[in-house]
Structure 1
């Protein structure tokens, strides 16, 4: 199998990837989309960061160097919050176009003193299937060759709403590339199999449970909620 070319994949979806001074840009001719961590800086300030619901949901008490697997990385903004809070984060993004945009954002952020420390803790697995990655990690944990992650984070793309205004314009471009999760049960099973301290799942605030799995507890904001599964410790 040859190297996957994100530029060709974008063109096949009726989109165009172009290198601009601001960074790698995806466009359909009317809208432009770029991954950019600089706009996250206000949320990374220490007082504000600790109030982020995701940081609260993922917090691993008593762990000096926590490790998270973000199985649905997208543009990596949630992973950045976790990395800024001290997590090492492995990011899986299967779509090669989105992964290329994310890698570009990581490269640019590495040169920004305000972001460099956080992004140094972010490791992108571009074009890799997260379910396969989780299953491989679970085998290594089972064999004692790998310590289980503290958190597995799941943020599968929300189903498209019927009201077009409810879908942010920039995400309309992503729907050309990535579809809502087709096999929720397998994703949750793979996340639990790696024996994390907790699985954190991002959902629309009034959305259904992912795969119908009842969480141990929930943290809800105005637009999203986090369902937290806490498996029994062996």
Structure 2
């Protein structure tokens, strides 16, 4: 999908030019022209935004602050699914980072998180959110534990498995493969429609699950639609379910020497 990059302010034009070059995207200084494109990346005072289909999407961690408060965070279903015993310095590997909200929950819960996002446009939006969060008084200490990489997480997991370094292995591998929107909310459907211009539903389910298991985590957590099938038809050890999604938790058997 072709993306057009434009700057809302003259002072943002150098950043827009650099981003367009990195993405091999069209650059314009005409906002009206940019908004006629199927997708546009807008750089402005509020950061980097994705514009298309009558919607504006922006990765933003500030809106998640209420969920990070004491008494709220531990009630998050993902945090409950990620609970481990005997892990004073837990590590998580988010193989499908998206806008990074779930990784933020991991980091707020004390995990050191490695994030991978393969789509360059989504990666740019996530990187922008991380940079803005570094200067926020309530988020800076949390995002310090988030280490972002643009690229293929399957390859990264395979390289990690080959290196077989105990210090690098994550305690948890988290998978949130793209799936078709099932919500009846028009806004949610539009959001997924916009993201589906960039990323298609996961077609390599077996490969990504096997890559996750290859690093011998204590747990693989897979986010699924509440009534969706198991990833790669792999029955989980147990699941935590909410109204719209569930977390399938796969607990591999302990390694033997």
TM-score, normalisation: structure 1: 0.91
CA distance in 2, matches of 1:75, 1:162: 19
Is 2:53–2:194's contact at 8 Å kept on the other side of the alignment? no
Q: Structure 1 segments of 4 or more deviating over 6 A?
A: none
Q: Which has the higher contact order (CA 8 A, sep 6+)?
A: 1
> Where do 1:194-213 residues align within 5 Å?
194-213=215-234
The 10-residue stretch of structure 1 (52-61 or 74-83) with the greater mean CA deviation from structure 2: 52-61
Report what 2:132 is aligned to: 108
SS of 1:169's equivalent?
helix
Q: Which runs of 5+ in 2 are unaligned?
A: 1-19, 28-33
* Alignment CA distance shift 1:189-1:112 (3 Å): same
Count of equivalent residues: 228
Task: Note if 1:152 corresponds to 2:173.
Answer: yes
Is 1:137–1:146's contact at 8 Å kept on the other side of the alignment? no
The 10-residue stretch of structure 1 (146-155 or 76-85) with the greater mean CA deviation from structure 2: 146-155
> Where do 1:107-146 residues align within 5 Å?
107-126=131-150, 128-141=151-164, 144=165, 146=167
Q: 1:148-198: CA deviations, max 9, x gaps?
A: 210000000113559783843222211100001111000100000010000
CA distance in 2, matches of 1:84, 1:41: 10
Q: Identify the match of residue 79 of structure 1 among 90, 103, 115.
A: 103
Report what 1:92 is aligned to: 116
> Where do 1:47-66 residues align within 5 Å?
47-66=71-90
CA distance in 2, matches of 1:9, 1:140: 40
Structure 1 vs Structure 2 CA RMSD: 2.2
SS of 2:149's equivalent?
strand
The 10-residue stretch of structure 1 (186-195 or 53-62) with the greater mean CA deviation from structure 2: 53-62
